[in-house]
């Protein structure tokens, strides 16, 4: 499984405006809706925020991977937001988040959902990839960085 299989090119933002968790999640879900990848964005936001109540998906090192499963979404889709200012996400390390990778998929693909989360985690664990993504000035740069890492 490759990240670019589920990351929607039209849902990559290099200048995420939100400064808090709900705002960042809402911004990414709205972009997926604008790209016609999901319907009923308010319900998708609600599903992801419910998942956040179980524990923050701000995993540390400036990264958050908010995610959820719902039958509102026909297939697994992802959105990526990069913040220059930082997002307050209640991260495990208490630090702001600069890379928010949102993942949402149907309920009946739990195994595929877990594989996608593992793939995203593996990608963002690499300090050099995190730095390159934060320094990216365009969506094309972000896609090149991820596509290059997707080869491995």
Residues recognised as catalytic: 67
Return the closest-CA partner of residue 6 out of 37, 34, 29.
37
Query: Distance between CA atoms of 37 and 35, rounded to whole angstroms?
Result: 6
Q: Burial letters for 27-59: b for 16+ Cβ neighbours within 10 Å, e otherwise?
A: bbbbbbbeeebbeebeebbebbeebbeeebbbb
Torsional sign, CA 55, 91, 16, 8: negative
Q: What is the residue-wise DSSP string for 77-110?
A: EEEEEEEEEEEB---TTS--EEEEEEEEE-GGGH
């Amino acid at each position: 499984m490759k990240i670019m299989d589920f990351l929607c090119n039209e849902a990559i933002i290099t200048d995420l405006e939100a400064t808090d968790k709900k705002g960042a999640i809402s911004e990414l879900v709205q972009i997926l809706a604008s790209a016609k990848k999901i319907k009923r964005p308010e319900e998708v936001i609600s599903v992801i925020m419910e998942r956040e109540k179980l524990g923050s998906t701000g995993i540390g090192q400036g990264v958050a991977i908010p995610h959820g499963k719902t039958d509102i979404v026909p297939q697994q889709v992802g959105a990526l937001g990069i913040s220059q200012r930082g997002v307050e996400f209640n991260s495990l390390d208490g630090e702001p988040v600069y890379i928010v990778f949102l993942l949402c998929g149907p309920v009946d693909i739990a195994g595929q959902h877990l594989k996608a989360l593992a793939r995203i985690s593996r990608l963002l664990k690499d300090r050099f990839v995190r730095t390159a993504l934060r320094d990216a000035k365009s969506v094309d740069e972000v896609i090149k960085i991820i596509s290059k890492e997707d080869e491995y």
